[in-house]
Amino acid sequence: MFAFGMTALLWWGWRKAKACFFPNLIGNLDTGGQEFSYQELVTATNSFSKKLGEGGFGAVFEGKIGDLMVAVKKLSNASESVDGYKAEVTTLSRLNHRNVVPLIGWCHHKRYLLLVYELMPNGSLDTHLHPEKPVLPWIDRYKIAVGLACALAYIHEDSNDSRLVIHKDIKPKNIMIDESFNAKLGDFGLARFVNRGQSAELEPLAGTFGYMDPYSYGTKSDMFSFGVVLLVMGSGRPAIKVVKDDHGTVLESTHIKDIVSGEYGSGGAKAVSDLRLEGNFVPEEMNAMIRVGLLCVSSDSNERPSAKEVFRWLDPPVSLENIPSPRNGGSVSGFPFTTNIDGAWSDSREGAMSSPLLDFPSRAAIQDSNSDRSTAALDNFGSWPVLDENNSGKV
């Protein structure tokens, strides 16, 4: 009886301590957002009645606060989401730029962690690149590329904070699109503030496979991810092409850098361009996008340009004579995409993983396609992780 009583007392104490933890979560942190009560967000979302999407992080609901339409992200498994929640609140709430998703506020109530963003009517970039969706026109692709470069120049160099921000997870799913198809960088759950001039070499490797830099850390790793995004937008290919046999066993995986660099070297940007565009693009802009993308994914991080340099090259596009030629061709596909790839990714295709080449958990995503860019292949992009995991892409 005594043992049962002690067990019950310990259980009650653990539940009470857990319930009281989140209210003090942000108290001592330097943050600029607005704190909402849980009831305010229940009212704003009409009791979380309109779900916009759902993924491993939780669900996103449409809401309205005053005259402003918002997206409320309700994090699942809050005890494991604390670090990402804190990173999002302490970084994104202090950033103010036209190409960064505005974080309106946040809420932590008992076991709930919630983030409130301005609603992006056109969702995320990955939904517009999905082969089953209408073709994203070139004018919008290029505008998104320029806007993303501008956002990176801001967080890396131009923000008023005494520190710079390393995003760590730049990919189409985290690039939101507003009503005018302007890019807004979002999801700062892995982001870190770094003092200007401070080395980021001790920062742990993190991000999404395919977009994650296997060579370096810091702002240069963000530029690697940005380069992959440019190559994906220009070529219409996924970041990683995976070939499987009839039983689902992975036979081969190839990074987009290794595919595009070969095609670009033999036929130029026209040979690389997305076939779904049917030639409807501005050659100078396509050339600049592919050239810059290949520079950014160089295995020599010293060869990669800064976001400010990229912005100057893209807006307006300069002639190729003014953009350095990529020199370092080091393959990406061997790290770690071809090593035990079936066992490396979780069943959800985006989640915790462990690879023989990595001795710590990271987030990963795998993207599959057929081996060419024929119409039939584009119709069979079934594994492209866009509307996957029931995620509508809206934040």
Q: Give tens-digit pLDDT for 199-220.
A: 555 556 678 889 998 877 889 9
- So which residues are the catalytic ones? 169
Q: At what angle do helices 138-153 and 219-235 cross, to 10 degrees?
A: 180
Closest CA to 336 of 315, 317, 353, 312: 353
Closest CA to 303 of 311, 315, 292, 288: 292
| Sequence ranges of the chain with CATH classification 1.10.510.10 | 125-390
The number of beta carbons lying within 10 Å of the beta carbon of residue 243 is: 14
β-strand 103-109 against 34-35: which pairing, if any? Answer: parallel
Residue ranges, the chain, pLDDT below 50: 4, 6-21, 23, 28, 334-395
Q: 7: exposed, middle or buried (C-beta count within 10 Å: 0-12, 13-18, 19+)?
A: exposed
Helix (H) or strand (E) holding 153: helix 138-153
pTM for the model stands at: 0.78
pLDDT of residue 153: 96
| Sequence ranges of the chain with CATH classification 3.30.200.20 | 23-118
pLDDT of residue 317: 93
pLDDT of residue 20: 42
Cα of 263 vs its chain's centroid, Å: 26
What span, in angstroms and rounded, lies between the C-alpha atoms of 200 and 129? 32
The number of beta carbons lying within 10 Å of the beta carbon of residue 47 is: 10
Fold of 23-118: Phosphorylase Kinase; domain 1 (3.30.200)
In 3-state terms, the chain is what percent helix, strand and coil (to 5)?
Answer: 40, 20, 45
pLDDT of residue 218: 86
pLDDT of residue 126: 92
- As assigned by CATH, the class of the 125-390 domain is mainly alpha
- Are 239 and 228 in contact by the 8 Å Cβ rule? The answer is yes
The number of beta carbons lying within 10 Å of the beta carbon of residue 141 is: 26
